[in-house]
Structure formats: C-alpha cells, structure tokens
Structure 1
Amino acid sequence: MSSSKEVPTQDVETEFSKITRNDFPNDFVFGTGTSAYQHEGGATKGGRGISVWDVFTLRTPGLYLCLYNIIYIYIYILVECLWSDLLVTGRINDGSNGNVAVDMYTKYKEDIKMMKSMGFDAYRFSISWPRILPGGKLCLGVNQEGIDFYNDIINTLLDNDIEPYVTLFHWDLPYTLEQEYGGFLSKNIVKDFREYAELCFWEFGDRVKYWVTLNEPWTYSVHGYVGCIFPPGNKGSASNATSDSAGSILDGIGLINLKKTGNNFLTYRGAKPENIFNNLVTLNDVYDASSTTISSKKNINDEDEYYHKPPLSSSAKDVYTVARNLLLAHSAAVESYRTKFQEHQKGKIGITLVSHWFEPLNEKDDKDEKAAERARDFMLGWFLEPVLTGHYPQNMIDCVPRKNLASFTQKESELLKGSIDFLGLNYYTANYVANDPDPISKQGYYRDQKAAFSTERNGKPIGQVAGSSWLYIVPEGIYKLLTKYINVKYKDIPAIYITENGVDEKSDHTLTAYEVCADKIRVNYHRDHLGNILKAMKDKGMNIKGYFAWSWCDNFEWVEGYSSWYTAAIHQQQYATYELSLSHKHSKPQNMYDWAKHRFVHRRHRRKITSPAQMAFPAGNNIPSHRRAKPPPPPQTLIQQF
C-alpha cells in the first residue's frame, strides 16, 4: 500500500521508453480533444436546442412524463425508495446523461489554461449543431448565444497559443431533423448540413484553420443502425422517437432522468458526491415550446403525415443509406468551403475516420487474410476510398447486395473524389478475423463481410484488456494499419493526423485519489502508440502531422455513461482533469501528467499563432473581433436567411 502522500511508482520500460518530443519533427502537432455532448453540458443554458442524444438518454420517458405531471418530489421519492431496483435497465449503463457532463460549458477557460500549462499545441473540439441552430435549420434561426460561446472558446485558445481544430458533427444531430425526415436516413440532410457548415465557416473560419466535417461516420452508422446502441436505436426505423412521450418534448413538457446513480463514478473535478445529481437536471428550459417553431405540431399521432420521413426499410439497408448520406453531406460541406471560403480564410478541411487493425486469425491461411482485408475495407475503406477516389472499395461492391449499397452518381462521385485536405484517423484496438462464408448474422452489415471476429488466438488474447471489454491494448496495430493498409492501398493520401487515441479503466472506488492518478496503463499506452507512429514515419516515410490524446478530461462516455474512467463504450479516455487539478495542488506531479508535460507534450519552440487581437482589419471599421477578416459575402440566398 502506498503512502497517502506519494503516487505509486511503476515499471514502464519498453522499446519506446526513451521516446521524447525531440524524436518528432518540429512541426508535429501534439494536442488533445473533446466532443460537445460528452463534455460541454449546459443543456439548459444559452438557448441550446434538443439533440437526438437528449432523447436517447431518457430511459423510460412515458412513465416519467406521467409522474412528472403529478409532482416532481413524489417521483424522486418513489424512484429512490421504491423503484430503484425495478428501473435498472436502460440505454445508458448507469442511467446518466450528458445534461451537465463535465461542465466545460462554464469551465472551458480553466481547461484551456491547463492545456497551455502542459504545452499542448492544439485542441480539437466539436461544435454542437443544436446549440447554434436550435431548430436544426438555418431558416429556423441562429442562436447568437451559441455563436458567442464558440467564438469565446476559439479566441481563448488563440490567446493561449493553442490552435483550434474544429469538428462540425460529433453525433449530436438536432432532434428536430430526426423527427422531420429521419435524419441521415434522408438525403434532405445534405442541404441542412451544408447550410450549418457554411454558418460555421462564416462565423469562425477567420480563425479556425483546421476543419473536420464528420467524426467517425462508421460509428454513427453501425452503432445507430446495426447495433442500435446509439440514436435512433431502433432497427429498420426512420426514427426511434415516435412515441407520445417523445413528441411531448417538442410540446414543451420537461423530462428528467431519475435513474439512481448514487456514487458510482469518479466525480468530476473532485465534486462532492451529493452534487452528482447535477447530471440529472430537468430539460424544461431547453425544450420550452415558446423557443421553437417545431412545437406547433399538434398531434403526435399525425406524425407520418406531418413529417416527411423516408419509407421504412431494414437495418440491412439503412446502415448503408445513412453512411452514403454522411459522405454526401461531407462532400457538400467541403465543396462549399473550397468554393466560398478557403481562398480567403486559408484553412484546410478533412474528415475523421476510425478503424481497428484486423489481423488474420491464421496468418498462413489465404482465406483468413482476405477476410481481414474485407474487414479493413468495411470499416475504414468504406469511407476513406470514396473521399479519395469517388467510389466504394471493390470488396464492398462485390459483397453487399446492390439493392442495399446504392452507387454514387457521376456528380456525387466527382464531389467526393479528393474531398479531404487531410485525414483524421482514430485508433484504439485490434481484432483477429477468420473467413466465415456463413456468418451467424442473418442479414446486413456483418453478414456481408463473411468474416468472424475474435480477440483470442489459441486461447491467448490479442493484447491486455482495458476497462472496456472491446478495447485490447495493441500498440503495434496502429503501425500495421498505417503501413500495411493505408500506405499500401492509398499511396496518394494527404497528411494524416491521429485525431484520437486513448485507453480507459473501469471505475474502482477502493482506490485512493493518489492511486487513481498513478495512471498505471496510460503512460505505457500513449508512449507505445506514439512510438509505433514514429516508426511508421521513419520506416515508410508516412506523412503523419499530429497526435491528439483522447480525451482531455473525464466525460460522458456514450452508453457507458460515467461508469468507466476516461471511458469506453464507444471510445476511450486518458487525461482526467480531476487528476490534472490534483497535480497542480501537490509538489509531486502524477505519472501521466508528469510524463506528458515534461517529457513529451511541452513545446521546444512555440509556433506563432495570431490571436484575435492581432488580426488585421480595415482601419476605422468598428466590427466585433469575431467578425473580422470575413470571406467574400456568401450567396444572396444565405444572406437573406441570415
């Protein structure tokens, strides 16, 4: 047992033990990242609209609505004292939500100061679509409070010499668009996403020089329409939100998630346990009927007539339809940026994709090798090949029924081809793959691959398991993904940024705060992945320009809620701001913080970043700082909508 005054030490010797920042090029970017729904909170603040995740995290809305209309305190007593054991299942493992998350909505200035103290070059964050367009569409009005919020984040970053990397869509789709036409199941989304992107370029593009259109379209498509652990969550349905209770949200009736959470997660920034229930706030302010024209819908039973939803099909087809529309939305945003903004703003635009490394179960079996290649094509190539070449991988064309995988038109293909200035790549883990001509899945995405996935070979796991059952630590997997797949198949790929990489741990409340801060696996994880990235750069000359550790601090980790430290259900976490704040209060830095700050992240030479106060603008032009250096006016139709 360690002393209460000292963080436990650990043996971290590996082949990359001596790696430092000096081993990387001078212009290599070291950053960290967050996403809006996972970190911001502020669900009832600043005029934010409702997102699909707000609805999805409400566990049993019909029951709670009924009780809520009687009296709130009775609900609390009943749930806490009588029903807590009965109402334990739900979409989120611990019954929580992102209404408050880690409250970066109010604490971002503190976070940015800590980022600067660690020497980070860049910070990747996402903009909440419903925070700046509460109704989802430009024609329904712009929320100036949301615009001001992101302007202040960007300006604060630049004032602290940190480059903003901004993601336009990290899965928090405005709920109104899901209700109106099924979200990304409908091609209508392309126009609305383009207008949302143009608004962001117009408002923030004078200072944001790195744009990411989509974060992990694979995850959004597969987890939403195959695994159904993401919104909308129903197989073969254009929208999961078709019940009376869901509709009443739009009529201004507040909901509350009353699932008991108790003290089952590490409280953010050392918050007192009784304050955990800050995460269980009412949503009346956000969904006030007076704040949105959508609430004019009178009868939820008239939904199909009132809304223009696409015909229902099945998950076998829907996942490919959603992915296709995500790609078209990406290309539309890129086309707009390149034709209207890029020349003046001098920025770059790309996409962030995710992939595991897929290793053949039997390396000597040609069928297993081909199955592994199919798996790579079905995860990474599915989105990477279209944005590079304008068409799907041949493996998908050959394996997916033509009725499910609609080909791109000539115009769509031309817009997609070459539609990235850089590639963002997220990597966490690896799997074994064997050929399986008759998969257990009856139909759809996993059957189409004709492959069987596993994490063991001859009883030996592929790597050390992390906090999540799916996340095995395989650092060499990122080297193989880069050199054996991307570098071989896509020779002309532009610059690559590793936009997410991290590992989680299950929450363990038997540990002291000092023991938690020891980061027993985190130092090894990041160091060994960085070592393999550097090896790919040296061995194959790969143009890798940066590395973003995921995530900056604790968060709401999707279906895991807060039950995993720096989390896991869909992705991972590594730096906890709770840990970072401790390290500032004690003389001995904690392991991960100390390693990252003093051996790796701290910059040798800070790159010159022009802050908002230094930006040139016409003399005597009394324009607010966030509106300086604007591009030429957008099309007249856009001006009219403003």
Structure 2
Amino acid sequence: MRTTLLPVLCLAVAAEAQELHLTTTGYTARPQCSKSFASPSYYFQPFSYSLSETVRYATSIPSPTVTRTYAPAYKDAAKHLTTNVSTTTWGSWLPGKTAIHATDTHDPYGQAAWSSMWLEADLQNYTTTGMFSTTVSPTPVPTSELVLPPRDYFGPTDCYDFPRDFVFGVAGSAAQIEGAIAMEGRSPSLLEKLISGDKPKDYVTNENYFLYKQDIERIAAMGVEYYSFTIPWTRILPFVLPGTPVNKQAIDHYNDLINTVLDAGMQPVVTMLHFDSPLMFVASDNITRHPDIGYNNAGYQNETFVDAFVNYGKILVSNFADRVPIWVTFNEPLLYSFNFQGVDNVVHAHAQVYRFYHEELKATGKMGIKFNDNFGVPKNPKNSKDVQAANRFNEMQLGFFANPIFLGKQYPDSILKTLPGARSLNKTELEYIGHTADFFGIDPYTATVVSPAHEGISACAANSSTTNSLFPYCVNQETKDVYGWNIGYRSESYVYITPTYFREYLSYLWNTFRHPILVSEFGFPVWDEAEKELSDQLFDSPRSTYYLSFMSEILRAIYEDGVHVMGALAWSFVDNWEFGDYSAQFGLQVVNRTTQDRFYKKSFFDLVDFVKARQH
C-alpha cells in the first residue's frame, strides 16, 4: 500500500453562495484481488508465436430513417422577422484579380461597397485562397483507413453506460477550418487583423468551406453522432447591421452543409459566434491582449452590437432551426469581452435570441451558451485564503454571465466591486434574462491552481488604474500543486491532463448553476506532435489517455455524483488553425498542409470505441 502523492479533491458546493469547499482523501494503489497465488513454478514448453491482431473496423453511422423537425421552415419562420430579409450576392475578392473598381458606387450595399471593406482591411500577403474554389464532391472512406489501432495496455475499467440521450460528437469552428475568407460574399472579421507578423493567417486553413462534404463523410464513417460547427456572421450578413442584405450564397451553403450532416446520419450543433466578430465593430488598431483573460476591445461593447447580433441570430434560426436540434449563441465570450459593457451586451443579446427562438418560433430544440474556464482549484485546500481565491476566480469567469442567464440572479459582487463601469441589473432585466438557457456549455480543457495576489485580493481589486497583470481576478494562477508537482501531464499548450479535477468541476457547475451540462469542447495537443513523422503523429496515446480519462470521469459524475451531463464534443475533429499557430495540434485527424489530405489518429478510434462500447 502506497501513501497518497497527490491529493484528490472532494467537492461539496454551497450552491446559493457559489462557494467551493474542498477536502482531501487518499487512494489505493492496487485493487483488492479476489484470489491469492502460491509461489510460482517454472517450466519449459514448446514455443510458438501466439500473438495476432484481431482486426476491427470503425462502424459508420447508419443512414437516417426519419428526420425530426424542431421549428417552422423558413417560409413560416420569416414571418416573425421585423427587419429587411432581402438577399443578394457579391462574389469573391482577391487583390488585383477582382472587380475592385466596381461602378455601383451609388449602392451602399453593392459590389463597390463590399469590395471597399476588404481594401480597408489592408491585409498583408493575401494573394490566394488555396487549392479549391468550388465545393468538392465527397468520396467514400476506404475500409483500410477504418481499421482500429492496437490498444494501449492500460485503459478504463468502469462498468457504466452512457444515458440513451447522451450527445456525443466532435467540434470545429469556421474561422479555424474554413479558409475562403473573401469568397462568396464574406466580409472581414476581427480574426483577419488579429494575427500580425509572419504567423499563419486564416486565409486558407483547412479549406473546409469547399471540403465540408468530405469532412462530414470522414466523421460519419467513424461512427460519430453529432457534428458541432459555427456559422460566420460576416458570411450571412456581410454588412452586419439590421436591414442590410442577406448573402444568398451563404444561406445556400449552410443549408447544404446541414442537409449533408443529416444525410450522413448525424445531427448538427450550431454556434452563432466563435471569436469571428465583424471587423466593423472594432478599430483594428485598438485590439489589446491581456495575458490571462485574452483579447479585449473585440467589438462586443460596441453600442450597436446587441441589436445587430439579435438580428443575425434571428436570421440564423429562421433559416436553419427546423433541422438543428442544438444551438449555442456565443462561444467563450469572456476571452473577447472582459469589460463590463461587453459582457452586459452579451447577456442581453443572448436572452433576446433565446426568447425569439422559444417564444416566437415555438422551437423545440435546445439553445444555450458556452464558456471557457480552466477550473480554479485552491493551491492548498486547507488554506481558507486559497479557497477564497479559487471561489473568486470561478465566480468571475462564470457567474458574470451565468448568474443572470441561468439563475436570474444579480452579477456577482466581485464583478460589481471590481470592474470599472459595472452596474447592477434591474428587476425587469433580471426577469427577462433569467432562465434563458436549456443547457450550460463549458469548455473545460484543464485546471489551474489558484492562490491570492501577493498584496491580497482586496488591495489588488481596489485599484483598477494600476498595471497589475493580476487585475481584475487578483489571484495567482499556476500549474503546480502545493507539493510542487505539475497538476497533470503537460501538453504543447496550456492544457494538462486533469481528469479528477474535471469531475469536481462538473459537480461544481451542476450544483451551482443547476442546468444540464454540455461539455462543448475538450481536447489535448500532444507535445511537439507537429514535428514528428506522420506515423508517430497518428499514434497519439497521450491524447487517448486524455479523452478516455475525461470520458470515464463524466460517467462517474453521472452515476456517482448525480450530475446531469448532457453530452461531450471533442475538440477538434481535425488539426486546425489555432489563431496564428499550426503547431498546437488539437485534432483527431492530421492534415497535410500541402495536399489537404486528412489522416485519422489513434485517439479518434479510441474515443469512438470507448463511447460505442458503453452505449445501450
């Protein structure tokens, strides 16, 4: 029997106060054995090669036998729209190759006006869109690509099954895979200006805009049930604001994408905004980055943002909600809006879209919002100041949005007393915003160890004018526990393998915000994977360990902790553009950047095999 090396945290949540109370317990290094053996005996016997591989194949999703509907079709849903829904097309723009000298200068939404947005974006080195310019027809995935890889020696030993309605799928985002940025009417977004210097841009990425049929074919061939993707605001509404024309090419494209998902036997999950805010909302020279929070001044605080987003959201659900069972309004909005006005705008905009979806369209699908938050755990769970710091960190990351949306409660005191310009929501606002989500989306990639700022939380929070990098959280974040151990196995990026903390997190979320939890992203970029030979990239056992341990803890949270986990979506279904970086590979498939060929990784097979073995 060995003693505990790393404390396993046991959670008890005071939901009303949103406080985290932690205790420690130990674990046994070896399970109890049911039989004992006498001393071994040694002997010779004829030798033969006895090990042979049992060939197993991934099982494709079967063709659908029925297609459910969740809302009125567009011709009926459009009756609920109060702004102009006229459609038009603009074509594509390439420097020196397209009609940048259009003559329709009298039309505020014509070709000249559309092209001028790209001229004003002043992109550097943008000269091509890659290999494709039209949609590529899919080809069946060869059986030879669907052979399951050798198993890892150690694996999960649970005895639980996933609930029948558990949502299992893979995810991606348009900005990180589509490319084709100035084609078929799309206008500039924040992300075209975010990455400077010689880092990879989003101009090409995975060319999924033209290869989506093949990508869907490959996902379905693996047996995945849900495909989560995003729709770019600037493709649907190139001029962004209410009353401006809708891009017919974009509507047709995503109609076909959704139908392709359904025809493949899968279900679509659609996110409305995933970091790609329209560039018109933000001065491109005024984008700042906080070392812990992320990018600020990304447009969410713009005075026209709420009305514009609500109009965009209404157009999306009116066109597509009849076939989409799950909607997400915002992806990780804290990373791009950690100022009071930005978050306040997100909260109000989300609530309006939710009420339009359920109350006006009478839609029966689910709509939620998803957040980022590396779960804050106290450095020393026996130290009350560390526990207080962890509570504050989690509250500021989540309660800022979730208090009003999920509980109908006021913004946390930590926000109101810390952020400049903060104000309380009035009673009417709380009643309107409250309970406007059907699930709590969370992207819980890893955990972070938290302790108070050196000068104390109160002293740090009292002075917002300082250059203190810990403001506004006013806590230290690190990756080592109180004994000096890393909290888990390290990845290429900030992610550590922290499955036991993940289970605690699920309990915290369920007991605090009291809504079904959708694990809307989770994934692991293996250290230095991009530098390895292809065969070594494909045999990605650390990623398998990450996924299987996290999925095991989801099952334990469901059955042992009573937590309603609605589903899990792996990030990402393919290596993609990580905002100026291709080296941090989160994907379940490798991409050849020259040919755009995809190759399944071992972790993809292991994850799907794990789930399929535990379904009724």
Alignment correspondent of 2:392: 374
In structure 2, which of residues 175, 193, 213 is the aligned counterpart of residue 55 of structure 1?
193
Which of residues 479, 486, 508 in structure 1 aligns to 2:503? Answer: 479
* SS in structure 1 at match of 2:282: helix
Q: How many Å apart are 1:502 and its aligned residue? A: 0.4
Deviation (angstroms), 1:18? 3.7
For residues 334 and 153 of structure 2, what CA distance do their matches in structure 1 show?
34
2:316 maps to 1:178: no
Partner Cα distance (1:448, 1:459) in 2: 26
**Superposition TM-score, scaled by structure 2 size:** 0.68
CA distance in 1, matches of 2:546, 2:232: 30
2:515 alignment counterpart: 494
Aligned 8 A contact 1:475 1:529 in 2: yes
| TM superposition shift of 1:445 | 8.7
Matches within 5 A, 1:289-308: none
For residue 388 of structure 1, report the CA deviation from its aligned partner.
1.5
Deviations 1:97-151 (A, max 9, x none): 1111111101111111111111111111111000010111242211100111100
Q: Distance in 1 between matches of 2:591 and 2:563?
A: 33
Q: 1:363 maps to what in 2?
A: 381
Question: Which of 453, 459, 462 does residue 487 from structure 2 map onto?
Answer: 462
Secondary structure in 1 matching 2:570: strand
* Counterpart Cα distance in 1 of 2:231 and 2:423: 30
Aligned to 2:324: 208
**Equivalence for 1:46:** 184
Which structure has more relative contact order (CA 8 Å, sep 6+)? It is 1
- Shifted more, 388-397 versus 323-332: the winner is 388-397
- Aligned in 2, Cα 1:509/1:360: closer, same or farther, shift over 3 Å? closer
Matches of 1:398 and 1:463, distance apart in 2: 34
Aligned equivalents of 1:30, 1:335: Cα separation in 2: 27
Rounded Cα–Cα distance in structure 2 between residues aligned with 1:40 and 1:355: 26
C-alpha contact (below 8 Å) 2:589/2:599 kept by paired residues: no
Task: Show the 5 A alignment for 1:390-401.
Answer: 390-397=408-415, 399-400=417-418
Closer, same or farther: CA 516–346 of 1 in aligned 2, 3 Å: same
Number of equivalences? 449
User: Pairwise mapping of residues 64-79 of structure 1 onto structure 2 (< 5 A)?
Assistant: none
> Kindly tell me: are residues 7 and 510 of structure 1, through their superposed partners in 2, closer, same or farther at Cα, counting changes over 3 Å?
farther
1:449 & 1:597 partners in 2: Cα distance? 38
In the other structure, the counterpart of 2:543 is: 522
Q: Which residue of 1 aligns with 2:427?
A: 410
Following superposition, the deviation at residue 460 of structure 1 comes to 1.7
In structure 2, what residue type is equivalent to 1:44? Answer: A
Contact 2:385/2:451 (CA < 8 Å) preserved in 1?
yes
Counterpart selection for 2:605 from 581, 594, 598: 594
How far, CA to CA, are the matches of 2:200 and 2:318 in structure 1?
35
Q: How does 1:614-629 map to 2 (within 5 A)?
A: none
What is the deviation of 1:461?
Answer: 1.3
**How many percent identity over aligned positions?**
30
Matches within 5 A, 1:528-547: 528-547=549-568
- Mapped to 2, the partners of 1:8 and 1:406 lie a distance apart of 55
Corresponding position of 1:324: 344
Alignment match, 2:436: 419
Q: Distance in 1 between matches of 2:504 and 2:496?
A: 15
1:581 Cα deviation from its structure 2 partner:
6.5
State the TM-score, normalizing by the size of structure 1: 0.65
Q: Shift of residue 52 of structure 1?
A: 1.1
Q: Does 1:195 align with 2:311?
A: yes
Partner of 1:513: 534
AA aligned to 2:404 is: P
**118 and 367 in structure 1: CA distance in 2 versus 1, 3 angstrom threshold:** same
- CA deviation vs aligned residue, 1:171-205 (integer Å, no higher than 9, x gap): 11111233599731223211111100111011111
Q: Which residue of 2 aligns with 1:576?
A: 590
Deviation at 1:582, TM superposition (A): 6.6
Any conservation in 2 of the 1:170–1:214 contact (CA below 8 Å)?
yes
CA distances 1:471-495 after superposition (whole Å, capped 9, x unpaired): 2221112111111x223323xx222
Q: State the distance in 2 between where 1:138 and 1:46 align.
A: 20
Partner of 1:247: none
**Amino acid aligned to 2:203:** N
Structure 1: 5+ residue stretches without partners: 60-89, 223-318, 567-572, 585-589, 606-642
With over 3 angstroms needed to count, the CA separation of the structure-2 counterparts of 1:175 and 1:410, relative to structure 1, is same
From the superposition, tell whether residues 173 and 583 of structure 1 become closer, same or farther in structure 2 (CA, over 3 Å). Answer: closer
Report the secondary structure of 1:334's partner residue: helix
- Aligned-partner Cα distance in 2 for 1:23–1:523: 19
Higher share of residues assigned helix: 1
| Cα offset, 1:412, TM superposition | 2.3
SS in 1 for 2:388: helix
Q: Give 1:360 deviation, angstroms.
A: 0.9
